[in-house]
Amino acid sequence: MAIGLAGWAIVLGVVLAYQGLCLVANGDRWPAASEVIRDVMRYPVGRWVLFGLWLWLGWHLFVRGWRFFLRG
Amino acid sequence: MDLARSAGGAGTTGWVGILRHDVAPVLAAWLVLVCGLVAYGRRGRARRRPAPPPTGHPWRALGSLLAGGYVVFLMIVVVFYFVLGARDRSLIWQALGQGSLLTFGMVLPAFVVLSWAQARLFRRRNPQGTRTGTLSDSDRATST
Protein backbone atom coordinates (compact mmCIF):
# COMPACT_ATOMS: atom_id res chain seq x y z
CA MET A 1 0.00 0.00 0.00
CA ALA A 2 2.89 2.35 0.72
CA ILE A 3 3.99 2.17 -2.91
CA GLY A 4 0.51 3.03 -4.10
CA LEU A 5 0.26 5.98 -1.74
CA ALA A 6 3.73 7.14 -2.75
CA GLY A 7 2.64 6.92 -6.38
CA TRP A 8 -0.31 9.19 -5.67
CA ALA A 9 1.91 11.62 -3.78
CA ILE A 10 4.29 11.78 -6.74
CA VAL A 11 1.52 12.28 -9.29
CA LEU A 12 -0.16 15.01 -7.27
CA GLY A 13 3.18 16.67 -6.64
CA VAL A 14 3.93 16.75 -10.36
CA VAL A 15 0.48 18.19 -11.08
CA LEU A 16 0.88 20.92 -8.48
CA ALA A 17 4.39 21.71 -9.67
CA TYR A 18 3.12 22.02 -13.24
CA GLN A 19 0.31 24.27 -12.06
CA GLY A 20 2.86 26.44 -10.27
CA LEU A 21 5.00 26.63 -13.40
CA CYS A 22 1.98 27.65 -15.48
CA LEU A 23 1.01 30.34 -12.97
CA VAL A 24 4.48 31.83 -13.10
CA ALA A 25 4.88 31.64 -16.88
CA ASN A 26 3.54 34.44 -19.07
CA GLY A 27 1.30 34.12 -22.11
CA ASP A 28 -1.01 31.46 -23.43
CA ARG A 29 1.68 28.87 -24.05
CA TRP A 30 1.51 27.53 -20.47
CA PRO A 31 -2.11 27.87 -19.36
CA ALA A 32 -2.83 27.25 -15.70
CA ALA A 33 -5.81 25.15 -14.71
CA SER A 34 -7.62 28.28 -13.52
CA GLU A 35 -7.22 29.88 -16.95
CA VAL A 36 -8.55 26.80 -18.69
CA ILE A 37 -11.54 26.64 -16.35
CA ARG A 38 -12.18 30.36 -16.84
CA ASP A 39 -12.24 29.82 -20.60
CA VAL A 40 -14.52 26.80 -20.28
CA MET A 41 -16.89 28.96 -18.22
CA ARG A 42 -17.33 31.33 -21.18
CA TYR A 43 -19.43 28.67 -22.90
CA PRO A 44 -22.91 27.90 -21.51
CA VAL A 45 -22.34 24.16 -22.02
CA GLY A 46 -19.06 24.45 -20.13
CA ARG A 47 -20.84 26.10 -17.20
CA TRP A 48 -23.53 23.42 -17.23
CA VAL A 49 -20.97 20.59 -17.24
CA LEU A 50 -18.87 22.11 -14.45
CA PHE A 51 -21.91 22.83 -12.30
CA GLY A 52 -23.35 19.37 -12.99
CA LEU A 53 -20.08 17.72 -11.98
CA TRP A 54 -19.99 19.81 -8.82
CA LEU A 55 -23.56 18.78 -8.01
CA TRP A 56 -22.75 15.14 -8.65
CA LEU A 57 -19.68 15.26 -6.39
CA GLY A 58 -21.64 16.81 -3.53
CA TRP A 59 -24.52 14.37 -3.97
CA HIS A 60 -22.25 11.34 -4.24
CA LEU A 61 -20.14 12.20 -1.20
CA PHE A 62 -22.61 13.80 1.19
CA VAL A 63 -26.22 13.34 0.18
CA ARG A 64 -26.62 9.90 -1.40
CA GLY A 65 -28.09 7.48 1.10
CA TRP A 66 -28.68 10.40 3.42
CA ARG A 67 -29.88 9.66 6.87
CA PHE A 68 -30.75 12.05 9.66
CA PHE A 69 -27.64 13.99 10.74
CA LEU A 70 -25.93 12.78 7.54
CA ARG A 71 -25.30 9.25 8.73
CA GLY A 72 -24.85 7.43 5.39
CA MET B 1 -13.81 -5.00 -8.42
CA ASP B 2 -11.91 -8.14 -7.43
CA LEU B 3 -9.18 -8.38 -10.03
CA ALA B 4 -7.81 -11.57 -8.52
CA ARG B 5 -11.15 -13.26 -8.92
CA SER B 6 -11.55 -12.09 -12.50
CA ALA B 7 -7.98 -13.01 -13.42
CA GLY B 8 -8.51 -16.47 -11.98
CA GLY B 9 -10.75 -17.44 -14.85
CA ALA B 10 -14.09 -15.86 -14.06
CA GLY B 11 -14.58 -15.28 -17.77
CA THR B 12 -15.68 -12.16 -19.61
CA THR B 13 -17.98 -11.06 -16.80
CA GLY B 14 -15.02 -9.83 -14.77
CA TRP B 15 -13.56 -7.79 -17.61
CA VAL B 16 -16.95 -6.47 -18.61
CA GLY B 17 -17.46 -5.34 -15.05
CA ILE B 18 -14.08 -3.63 -15.02
CA LEU B 19 -14.91 -1.84 -18.26
CA ARG B 20 -18.32 -0.73 -17.02
CA HIS B 21 -17.48 0.23 -13.46
CA ASP B 22 -13.89 1.43 -13.73
CA VAL B 23 -12.74 2.17 -17.26
CA ALA B 24 -15.86 3.95 -18.47
CA PRO B 25 -16.06 6.54 -15.66
CA VAL B 26 -12.34 7.28 -15.72
CA LEU B 27 -12.33 7.53 -19.52
CA ALA B 28 -15.35 9.83 -19.44
CA ALA B 29 -13.63 12.09 -16.90
CA TRP B 30 -10.54 12.21 -19.10
CA LEU B 31 -12.63 13.08 -22.16
CA VAL B 32 -14.27 15.95 -20.27
CA LEU B 33 -10.81 17.28 -19.35
CA VAL B 34 -9.63 16.98 -22.95
CA CYS B 35 -12.71 18.82 -24.21
CA GLY B 36 -11.91 21.65 -21.81
CA LEU B 37 -8.35 21.83 -23.08
CA VAL B 38 -9.50 21.79 -26.70
CA ALA B 39 -11.97 24.59 -25.92
CA TYR B 40 -9.12 26.61 -24.45
CA GLY B 41 -6.88 25.91 -27.43
CA ARG B 42 -9.52 26.92 -29.97
CA ARG B 43 -10.03 30.28 -28.28
CA GLY B 44 -6.39 31.24 -28.69
CA ARG B 45 -6.92 34.11 -31.08
CA ALA B 46 -10.33 35.06 -29.75
CA ARG B 47 -8.98 35.43 -26.22
CA ARG B 48 -6.87 38.40 -27.23
CA ARG B 49 -9.94 40.29 -28.44
CA PRO B 50 -11.98 42.14 -25.81
CA ALA B 51 -15.12 40.30 -24.75
CA PRO B 52 -18.49 41.74 -25.84
CA PRO B 53 -20.56 43.53 -23.19
CA PRO B 54 -22.87 41.27 -21.15
CA THR B 55 -26.44 40.82 -22.35
CA GLY B 56 -29.48 39.32 -20.70
CA HIS B 57 -30.84 39.41 -17.20
CA PRO B 58 -28.72 37.85 -14.40
CA TRP B 59 -31.70 35.80 -13.18
CA ARG B 60 -31.97 34.24 -16.61
CA ALA B 61 -28.29 33.32 -16.51
CA LEU B 62 -28.71 31.81 -13.04
CA GLY B 63 -31.77 29.85 -14.12
CA SER B 64 -29.95 28.56 -17.18
CA LEU B 65 -26.97 27.52 -15.07
CA LEU B 66 -29.07 25.67 -12.50
CA ALA B 67 -31.28 23.94 -15.06
CA GLY B 68 -28.40 22.94 -17.33
CA GLY B 69 -26.27 21.73 -14.44
CA TYR B 70 -29.17 19.74 -12.99
CA VAL B 71 -29.70 18.01 -16.34
CA VAL B 72 -25.99 17.15 -16.55
CA PHE B 73 -26.14 15.77 -13.00
CA LEU B 74 -29.11 13.56 -13.86
CA MET B 75 -27.38 12.34 -17.01
CA ILE B 76 -24.35 11.33 -14.93
CA VAL B 77 -26.55 9.39 -12.53
CA VAL B 78 -28.55 7.66 -15.28
CA VAL B 79 -25.54 6.73 -17.43
CA PHE B 80 -22.98 5.74 -14.81
CA TYR B 81 -25.16 4.42 -12.01
CA PHE B 82 -28.21 3.00 -13.78
CA VAL B 83 -27.01 2.00 -17.27
CA LEU B 84 -23.37 1.08 -16.65
CA GLY B 85 -23.59 0.34 -12.95
CA ALA B 86 -26.85 -1.64 -13.20
CA ARG B 87 -28.09 -0.07 -9.99
CA ASP B 88 -31.70 -0.19 -8.92
CA ARG B 89 -34.13 2.26 -10.54
CA SER B 90 -34.89 3.73 -7.14
CA LEU B 91 -31.50 5.43 -7.29
CA ILE B 92 -32.78 7.63 -10.11
CA TRP B 93 -35.72 8.76 -7.98
CA GLN B 94 -33.30 9.33 -5.13
CA ALA B 95 -31.10 11.47 -7.35
CA LEU B 96 -34.12 13.39 -8.64
CA GLY B 97 -35.31 14.24 -5.16
CA GLN B 98 -31.99 14.80 -3.44
CA GLY B 99 -30.53 16.56 -6.47
CA SER B 100 -33.51 18.92 -6.55
CA LEU B 101 -33.07 19.65 -2.86
CA LEU B 102 -29.38 20.29 -3.39
CA THR B 103 -29.82 22.45 -6.50
CA PHE B 104 -32.94 24.45 -5.76
CA GLY B 105 -33.06 24.20 -1.99
CA MET B 106 -29.42 24.91 -1.18
CA VAL B 107 -27.48 26.20 -4.17
CA LEU B 108 -30.09 28.65 -5.45
CA PRO B 109 -30.58 30.42 -2.09
CA ALA B 110 -26.82 30.48 -1.56
CA PHE B 111 -26.27 32.04 -5.00
CA VAL B 112 -28.94 34.65 -4.35
CA VAL B 113 -27.56 35.57 -0.94
CA LEU B 114 -23.95 35.71 -2.14
CA SER B 115 -24.91 37.77 -5.20
CA TRP B 116 -26.80 40.20 -2.99
CA ALA B 117 -23.82 40.42 -0.63
CA GLN B 118 -21.46 41.02 -3.56
CA ALA B 119 -23.69 43.75 -4.99
CA ARG B 120 -23.99 45.40 -1.57
CA LEU B 121 -20.23 45.28 -1.10
CA PHE B 122 -19.74 46.80 -4.56
CA ARG B 123 -22.16 49.63 -3.77
CA ARG B 124 -20.33 50.29 -0.52
CA ARG B 125 -16.98 50.48 -2.28
CA ASN B 126 -18.34 52.51 -5.19
CA PRO B 127 -21.07 54.79 -3.82
CA GLN B 128 -21.10 56.77 -7.07
CA GLY B 129 -22.21 53.63 -8.88
CA THR B 130 -19.40 53.76 -11.45
CA ARG B 131 -17.37 50.69 -12.23
CA THR B 132 -13.68 51.11 -11.47
CA GLY B 133 -12.61 48.42 -13.89
CA THR B 134 -13.83 46.04 -16.51
CA LEU B 135 -15.80 42.94 -15.63
CA SER B 136 -13.84 39.73 -15.37
CA ASP B 137 -14.42 37.20 -18.09
CA SER B 138 -16.40 34.93 -15.78
CA ASP B 139 -18.61 37.84 -14.71
CA ARG B 140 -19.31 38.59 -18.36
CA ALA B 141 -19.98 34.95 -19.08
CA THR B 142 -22.41 34.52 -16.20
CA SER B 143 -24.28 37.70 -17.07
CA THR B 144 -25.20 36.52 -20.60
- Does the distance separating the beta carbons of A28 and B141 come in below 8 Å? no
**Residue B12: CA count within 13 A, CB half-sphere:** 0
User: What was the pLDDT predicted at A30?
Assistant: 87
- Does the distance separating the beta carbons of B36 and A40 come in below 8 Å? yes
Q: Which of B39, B44, B98 lies at the smallest CB-CB distance from A28? A: B44
- Does the distance separating the beta carbons of A54 and B36 come in below 8 Å? no
User: What was the pLDDT predicted at B90?
Assistant: 85
Give a three-class secondary structure readout of chain B: CCHHHHHCCCCHHHHHHHHHHHHHHHHHHHHHHHHHHHHHHHCHHHHCCCCCCCCCCHHHHHHHHHHHHHHHHHHHHHHHHHHCCCCCCHHHHHHHHHHHHHHHHHHHHHHHHHHHHHHHHHHHHCCCCCCCCCCCHHHHHHHC
Do B119 and B91 belong together in one domain?
yes
User: What was the pLDDT predicted at B27?
Assistant: 94
Min CA distance, B3 vs chain A (Å)?
Answer: 16
Q: Which of B40, B98, B142 lies at the smallest CB-CB distance from A36? A: B40
Q: Chain B residues within 8 A (CB-CB) of chain A?
A: 32, 36-37, 39-40, 43-44, 47, 51, 64-66, 68-73, 75-77, 94-95, 98-99, 101-103, 107, 137-138, 140-142
Do B68 and B114 belong together in one domain?
yes
Do B39 and B87 belong together in one domain?
no
User: What was the pLDDT predicted at B10?
Assistant: 45
User: What was the pLDDT predicted at B136?
Assistant: 44
Do B23 and B94 belong together in one domain?
no
- Chain A residues with beta carbon closer than 8 angstroms to that of B64: 44
* Segments in chain B below pLDDT 50: 1-12, 132-141, 143-144
State the total domains in chain B.
Answer: 2
Q: Which of A42, A47, A52 lies at the smallest CB-CB distance from B73? A: A52
User: What was the pLDDT predicted at A72?
Assistant: 46
| pTM assigned to the model | 0.74
User: What was the pLDDT predicted at A66?
Assistant: 63
Do B9 and B44 belong together in one domain?
yes
Nearest CA in chain B to A38: B138
User: What was the pLDDT predicted at B76?
Assistant: 92
Do B64 and B96 belong together in one domain?
yes
User: What was the pLDDT predicted at B82?
Assistant: 87
User: What was the pLDDT predicted at B44?
Assistant: 66
Q: What is the domain range of residue B8?
A: 1-49
Do B40 and B61 belong together in one domain?
no
Do B21 and B85 belong together in one domain?
no
* Segments in chain A below pLDDT 50: 70-72
Q: Quick check: ipTM above 0.95? A: no
User: What was the pLDDT predicted at B74?
Assistant: 92
